[in-house]
Structures are given as C-alpha cells and as structure tokens.
Structure 1
Amino acid sequence: MNEHNVKEKLIDTMICANAAGYSMDGEVLVTPIGLLPRIAASLAMKSSNPDMMMTDSQCWMLSDPNPVAPRDTEQQANENWMGLSRVFDNVWSGNRHITCSPVQIDRFGQANVSVIGDDYSKPNVQMLGVRGFPGNSICHASTYFILSHNRRVFVEGECDYVCSIGYNPKRLPRGYTFDDIDLRQIVTDLCVMDFDGENKAIRVRSLHEGVSLEQVRDNTSFDLAVSGDIEVTSAPLERQMELIRRLDSSNQRYGQL
C-alpha cells in the first residue's frame, strides 16, 4: 500500500472510530463540527444509530443526512426548522452530543478554542473565543477529533485558556462531581483515547495500524493511562465504506491530511 493509500485508510479509520462513539446514544441531537466529524455522524445515522437527530450544520433538521456537496445542489434536503431556541432546549436537557476540534487539550480533558499564550490580554494567537464550550461541556456529551496528535495540542499543565469543563477537581462547579461530566473519547490520527483511566485520566484505548504506544506518548505532553492490552483500531468494514463513498462521493475527506 503506497503512502497515499495509507493516508486515505487513516482518514476512513478515524471517521469510523468517531461514528462508533454515537452507537449507544439513541435519540439525541448530534452536532459534528468539521468535515470529517460530519461524515462520521452521517455514517452513524445511516448504520449504528438511526435514531440520531442531526442538522445540516445550520438550521434544518434531517431524517437522512445530506451528503457532502455544495449547499445549492439538489442533494441537499431541508426538512424541518431547528432554530436556536430548539437547539438550546436540547443542550440544556443534556440531549446532545458534540464532536469538535480544540486547539489545546490538557490532562483533565479541558479544552481551549480561545487564545494561545500566557497573557490573555496580549495573546500570541487570537482565535474564536470560548463560544459555547462552557455550556456544552457542562450540559452534554463531548467528543474531540484531532487531525494532528502532537504536544502543541496535548499540552503540559493546563490549557492556556480553559474554555470547557473537564475532570479537574479544582475547577468543578459547586455541587458537581465527575459523574456530572460526560467526556466520551478523543479520536486522533494516532489513536483513540477515552477517559476511563484512574480518576478519569485520559487512557489509550486503541492504536491505529502501524502506530506504537511510544509514538503516542512522545507526541503527548502528559502521562497517559493504559489498561491491559491495547487494541488495534478497527479498520472500516466494506459496508461502512459503501456508505462513506455515498456520503462523500467527491472524496473531499481525503484533502484533510
């Protein structure tokens, strides 16, 4: 298999790993942010969890996911209005699962999408601001999707600016325990991790084909938990690939790595 094919297989493996994280959710609103998470959520909706709800990333509810295509094509369905008030009803009731891609994640699972740098008033890099991260993380399930697993993303200490709640006892809101937080998994280009280590430490659950545990550790700025034998991340099944090709017939996903 040449390098190009290896990268394509990696992309499809990451999509399927992300999709697997929705299989037990039942009827929840899924918000996938980014091309690959969107394909992953669509794949789950067409296979492992047909009860999922999803929008077109703006304001229309879908019973069948739209393929990746320009919005003005005939393939794009608009079925039912999903305005912000209805979105927030789902958020506050806990009936949502979001997949997003922070620029920093620390050992507690706290995430940063706001600024890079120690001085918030004079950041080295200014990004989006905290957006909806505080409310999202405190109300419903979150998954992280990281295209490049490295020490700039998985940082030592805490994130430069903590935008979302994690398993940090010093930052828990009054009356909250770890059981009130629902961080599910982290899908990267090296592995799949979860939060099932001791005291909710980030744990390596599976390694992608050809990746070693040492490689993952070398690209992470904090210690990672390991429990028993680490599996190899499941390769996409042919049925999954058939659905992915239908959802992304122009192969836009392969431009992501």
Structure 2
Amino acid sequence: MTASTRAEVCVVACAEAWRGDGEILASPIGLVPTVGARLARATFSPDLLLTDGEASLGVGTWPVGEPPAQVEGVLPFRQIFELIWSGRRHVMMGPGQIDRYGNVNISAIGDFHRPKVALLGVRGAPGNTVSHPCSYWVPRHSRRIFVERVDLVCGIGYDRAAAAGPSASRYHQLRRVVSNLGVFDFPGPDHRMRLVSVHPGATVDQIREATGFDLQVDADVPQTRLPTPAELRLIRTVIDPAGHRDAEVPR
C-alpha cells in the first residue's frame, strides 16, 4: 500500500480525538473530521453514535456523501439539546479564529457591527463548549486563524471558563486541535495551547511561524502517528473511496 498522505494523517489525528469516548454522539463538522469519526468507530471507538448528517443514526461504516445502508435510530433536532445538556456529545468544529486558551470565533472577522467577513454566526458554540467535550479542525493553519485575540468569543476558552466560575468550567473540556500541520492540546494549570505532535513533512519552526501567539512547545515533539495499513484500507476503500479528503488537505 502506498505511503499515507497528509490528509490521511489528519484523518487519523482527528479520529484520535474520540478515542475512549464510549457511547456518546460524535459530531464531526467538515470532511476530514467526518472521515476521522467514522474511522474511530470502525476501529478503536466502536460505541460511538454517528448520524447521517441529518436525523438518522447510521449502522456500520459507510462512504462520505452517501446515506448509511442501515439506520438504527432517529435523532431529531430537539433531542440534540438533551445530548448537549447531559454531556453525551463530542463535537469537532472549525474555528474562524482560535487563541492560545481555546477561545473561538465562528461568527465575524473584524468589528461585529461592520465585519470584514461574516461567518456562520455564534450558533451553538457557547453551549457546546460549556456542556461537553469539544475539539477543533483547521485545514489551513495560519496566523489569520491562530490569533493573539479572537474578534468575537463564540466558543469559550479555558481562561474565560475559569473566570465565569463553575457554571461554565464544570464540564468545560477542549480535547484537541488538529490542523494540517500538527496536533495541539491545552495542558497544565493555565491551559495554554501546546504543540502535541508535528505531521510528517511539517516542522516545529513552520508551525511557530504560522501561529499568531507563543505556543507551548516541549523539548522533544514527536511526529503525529501514521495510519496503520488497516486504517488506510478503511479510509481508501470504505469511508472515502472517492478521495474527497485530498480536496480539503491537498497532497
């Protein structure tokens, strides 16, 4: 089997965010996170619940862009809130901006009343980030996304959750940030973003240069793990046989 691509390394890094989550709803947003969530359930997290992107819970592993061959349940929109409030969900969102503490902007770049760029809107980000685990996927790592200070706080970071008190911090957990260059988390007492691993072909210096704040970088940063042959087979022949992942992270 040919060597893994950068997109396939990112798929596995996203999948790892759901490792050990048990029977909860995995909510991937974006192509690579979707492939990653399906890979996680097909391998090391078999209890995950996955939707078809609408209101059905799919059985087994099915290709992106197609409906599941079998449905095991219905998950209408109103029931999503029960999962959110009970903490039985782990979403992977795509930030327009993210800072060193994990505060995220998905609404507007620039002045909120006269934005340079209008994005999705605040949507469910505040409730997501204070109710259940959240992770983030950034397909193009740059200083425009990894910023010193976000223009508008939508998803709550560790500093703001701590300042707000137990009502915000009790269930607050930012699990992982995965970009096309590396993997990041928020360890330690101050929860500053740390570089966990570097994707093959990228470097620590490249990641630092593409980040608009000082990352926590340990003395020895490992390489992000490569997909196993079994994982590559699932990605290439079952989950994404059309190769859509390469459009999100080019070869």
Question: What is the TM-score with the length of structure 2 in the denominator?
Answer: 0.92
Q: 2:241 matched to 1:252?
A: no
Alpha-carbon spacing, 1:170–1:28, altered in 2? closer, same or farther (3 Å): closer
Q: In structure 1, what is the Cα distance between the partners aligned to 2:160 and 2:121?
A: 24
Tell me the SS of whatever aligns to 1:37. helix
Which of the residues 170, 192, 198 maps onto 1:207? Answer: 198
C-alpha displacement of 1:176: 4.3
Tell me the SS of whatever aligns to 2:20. coil
Partner of residue 110, structure 1? 103
Provide runs of 4+ in structure 1 moved above 2 Å. 75-79, 169-180
Alpha-carbon spacing, 1:120–1:177, altered in 2? closer, same or farther (3 Å): closer
Which of the residues 109, 115, 120 maps onto 1:128? Answer: 120
C-alpha displacement of 1:255: 1.5
Query: Could you list the runs of 5+ residues in structure 1 that have no partner in the other structure?
Result: none
1:164-220 deviations in Å (ceiling 9; x for gaps) = 111114873343475631000111111111111451110001011122211111111
C-alpha displacement of 1:37: 0.7
Tell me the SS of whatever aligns to 1:15. helix
Tell me the SS of whatever aligns to 2:211. coil
Identity %: 36
Q: In structure 2, what is the Cα distance between the partners aligned to 1:178 and 1:171?
A: 6
| Equivalent position amino acid for 1:147 in 2 | P
Partner of residue 185, structure 1? 176
Preserved contact between residue 208 and residue 215 of structure 2 (Cα < 8 Å):
yes
C-alpha displacement of 1:54: 1.0
| Equivalent position amino acid for 1:20 in 2 | E
| Equivalent position amino acid for 2:59 in 1 | S
Preserved contact between residue 30 and residue 53 of structure 1 (Cα < 8 Å):
yes
Q: 2:18 matched to 1:27?
A: no
| Equivalent position amino acid for 1:150 in 2 | S
Alpha-carbon spacing, 1:253–1:174, altered in 2? closer, same or farther (3 Å): same
Query: Could you list the runs of 5+ residues in structure 2 that have no partner in the other structure?
Result: none
Q: 2:56 matched to 1:60?
A: yes
C-alpha displacement of 1:85: 2.2
C-alpha displacement of 1:76: 4.3
1:168-247 superposed matches below 5 A: 168-169=159-160, 172-176=163-167, 178=169, 180-245=171-236, 246-247=238-239
Q: In structure 2, what is the Cα distance between the partners aligned to 1:169 and 1:97?
A: 20
1:156-175 superposed matches below 5 A: 156=148, 158-169=149-160, 172-175=163-166
C-alpha displacement of 1:111: 0.5
| Equivalent position amino acid for 1:250 in 2 | A
Partner of residue 84, structure 1? 77
Tell me the SS of whatever aligns to 2:79. helix
Which of the residues 140, 152, 171 maps onto 1:148? Answer: 140
Alpha-carbon spacing, 1:110–1:26, altered in 2? closer, same or farther (3 Å): same
Q: In structure 1, what is the Cα distance between the partners aligned to 2:157 and 2:124?
A: 15
Tell me the SS of whatever aligns to 1:99. strand
